[in-house]
């Protein structure tokens, strides 16, 4: 059994290496794209393009709403997640892909009104899980505007 597991792991690693060599992003657990750490729009757009299926469209819509709501927003990819901020090195939200939804983390979400629906083990953080066809663009834009005016999280 252990031999079969090691062959499967080796096969998975070989596929990931082949994808990287071909310039294709590797999808991590749950379908989250593995994108190199970087600053600016280019790495964020690479992440969005690599989001699987319907999630890529959601990523484009989220990015567009954030840009419209926060002129001059700063972008980065850290820990395989796009981050958005208004000051260098501080961020007000991050995006992460899971198998069945896209998660938006509002780093000071406990100060937003109305509160984003999901709590976190961190008292200040609140989450919005976006399932296919369930993005409320007006509410999201309102939260983004509010969040961008709060102190960012240093990362």
pLDDT one-digit tens code per residue, 61-75: 999 999 999 999 999
Asked if residue 116 has pLDDT above 70, the reply is yes
The 3-state secondary structure of 58-93 reads: HHHHHHHHHHHHCCCCEEEEECCEEEEECECCEECE
Query: Class for domain 35-154, per CATH?
Result: alpha beta
Tokens of 22: 């071909």
What confidence score (pLDDT) does residue 31 get? 78
* DSSP-assigned letter for residue 116: P
pLDDT tens, residue by residue, 11-62: 444 544 444 444 667 877 777 789 999 999 999 999 999 999 999 999 999 9
- List the domain boundaries for the chain: 35-154
Average pLDDT, the chain: 88
What confidence score (pLDDT) does residue 109 get? 97
Query: 85, 106 in Cβ contact below 8 A?
Result: no
């Amino acid at each position: 059994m252990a031999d079969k597991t090691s062959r499967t792991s080796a096969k998975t690693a070989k596929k990931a290496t082949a994808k990287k060599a071909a310039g294709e992003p590797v999808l991590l657990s749950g379908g989250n794209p593995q994108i190199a750490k970087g600053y600016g729009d280019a790495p964020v757009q690479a992440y969005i393009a690599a989001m699987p299926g319907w999630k890529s469209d959601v990523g484009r819509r989220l990015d567009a709403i954030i840009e419209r709501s926060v002129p001059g927003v700063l972008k980065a990819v850290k820990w395989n997640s796009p981050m958005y901020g208004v000051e260098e090195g501080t961020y007000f939200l991050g995006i992460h892909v899971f198998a069945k939804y896209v998660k938006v983390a509002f780093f000071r979400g406990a100060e937003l009104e109305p509160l984003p629906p999901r709590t976190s083990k961190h008292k200040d953080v609140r989450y919005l899980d976006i399932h296919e066809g369930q993005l409320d663009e007006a509410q999201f834009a309102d939260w983004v505007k509010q969040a961008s005016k709060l102190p960012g999280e240093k990362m």
